[in-house]
Homo-oligomer: A and B are copies of this chain.
Amino acid sequence: MLLTNFKPDRTGKKPLYLQIADFIKEQIRLGLVTPGMRLPSVRDLSAALHLSRTTTETCYSRLTAEGYLVSKPQSGYFVADLQVPKQLPRELPSGSTRPAARYDFANNYVDGTAFPSIIWRRHIGQALKEKAALTGYGEPQGEPALREALADYSHRARGVVCAADQIVISAGVQSLFVILAALLQDRLFHTAPQIAWERPGFPQGEEIFRRQGWDIARFDTETLDTVQARLLYVSPSNPYKGRSLTPDLRRRLLRWTLERDGYILEDDYNGEFRYFTTPVSSLQGMGDGEHIVYLGSFSRLLFPSLRISYMVLPPGLLPDYRRIGRLYNQTSSTIEQLALASFIREGNLRRHVKKLRRLYRRKADLLQQALARHFGSRVQILAYESGLHMRISVDSPWDPQEAARRAEAAGVRVLPVPGGQDVPFSRSGNRFRTEILLSFAGISETDIAPAVARLATAWK
């Protein structure tokens, strides 16, 4: 061991004995000192490196406590046989590094220009003063102040009928599904739980149920009556659909819950955004209060990096939740929960949603105009009455994947609408009706027209 290679750092940030210990560990890790080797005596090492004997002794006893050295009475310290191959630096497999496109119609971002940062910072500052709330783990169900604010907000904005006690808060809808999959399995099934997922599905959500042993079936409006499962997932504002449930389907869904004594997970993602009418209110508020679990989120209302979602449990599920809920720690930051509570209480959320609705309406109009100008009748707008996406169909010789590749080569990223059985695209002669989804939330107003111009070139 070349202990003479050791260079002490005397700035005092790290005690000397730790510096030597780390140096010796590194030598072991690199295989430069080998099991069974005897280390210099405390006296010799101290003399060689001009250290006090206490420093050397502390270093050796720490390495012994950690298992790197073994102390043998009368004969000194030896390198333990860890039987561990030496750790060499290695190349790590790297993550995907897809370069950013010049124009992005494929992202999940929100428009940051609208976000009231200064107001939000004030609410965060207030929350940071509530020491008592910060030093504990917080309520597993979520901060009471936020649950009160959400019961009120979801009623006003989405027609949800509930008490604060029915609300469970979590960091994202997946964490809510972890709890729901457990809760509903105990409630509905003993073995072989099954959930019927509305087409086209939601991979991140299904992953949680599948990993917890659920079988995933699919359904759509036409196949509702043949569903065998006692649990349905619907997402009325899913971007791939882009339109809300018809009045008839709403009534059929409610009847289904009663006839089967089944449950519906109503994921109200983007439910606040409708441009031509005020948003249709939630199914939850229309039901008997016992068969619909309502799920809300703030990803699109404030910003996606704020990880706060919530669900409204029917009163009949609360005893089960009380039993297992304490096994699930709260995942959402207490400070952000408290900040959101006062942000909502003071009416900031209502005002912000209003502003966003105007902004997104304006963008949707710009996008529609640009498409008409560059494509004329070659593009058909299939849906954009809700949400932050526009689904279009382009008359082209390519399937959606290929059309997306050509767009990306021209600097514009778009989302191909998955073909196959979920959303078929039709072919007539040598031309396809190519379905594409354009998300306009994360693109600026001034970028919309030039981006569509590039699409027109790419899809000429």
Contact = CB atoms under 8 A, between A and B. Distances in A.
Interface of A: 14-15, 18, 22, 25, 29, 62, 64-68, 70, 80-87, 90, 92-96, 107-112, 115, 117, 120-121, 124-125, 128-129, 131-138, 141, 156, 159, 161, 163, 165-166, 171-172, 174-175, 178, 181-182, 203-204, 207-208, 211-213, 244, 247-248, 250-251, 254-255, 258, 277-278, 280-281, 285-289, 299, 303-307, 315, 318-319, 322, 324, 327-336, 442
The residue in A109, A315, A331 that gathers the most chain B C-beta atoms within 10 A of its C-beta is A331
B258 A83 contact: yes
This chain's copy number in the assembly: 2
Contact of A135 (B66, B115, B255): B115
Contacts of A307: 171, 330-333
A137 B299 contact: yes
A208 B277 CA distance: 43
A65 B333 contact: no
B85 A109 contact: no
B134 A305 contact: yes
A439 to B, nearest CB: 12
B135 A83 contact: no
Given A280-B66, A304-B135, A120 B115 contact: no
Nearest to A107: B136
A305 B136 contact: yes
A318 B331 CA distance: 24
Contacts of A254: 67, 82-84
A299 B278 CA distance: 43
A57 B351 CA distance: 26
Nearest to A255: B83
A304 B332 CA distance: 11
A447 B286 CA distance: 53
B161 A305 contact: no
Which 6 residue pairs across A and B have the least CB separation, nearest first? A305-B334, A112-B135, A67-B250, A67-B247, A171-B331, A137-B304
Contacts of A336: 333, 335-336
28 contacts: A25-B285, A62-B278, A70-B247, A83-B258, A84-B286, A87-B287, A87-B289, A93-B322, A107-B136, A109-B137, A111-B135, A121-B128, A134-B306, A135-B305, A171-B331, A171-B333, A175-B331, A178-B211, A181-B211, A182-B207, A182-B211, A203-B327, A207-B327, A211-B213, A305-B335, A306-B334, A307-B330, A336-B336
A182 to B, nearest CB: 5
Nearest to A64: B247
Contact of A286 (B68, B70, B95, B281): B68
A178 B84 CA distance: 29
B84 A258 contact: yes
Nearest to A90: B315
A202 B421 CA distance: 44
Nearest to A308: B333
Contacts of A327: 203-204, 207
Contact of A305 (B65, B124, B171, B333): B333
Contact of A65 (B25, B29, B70, B280): B280
A460 to B, nearest CB: 32
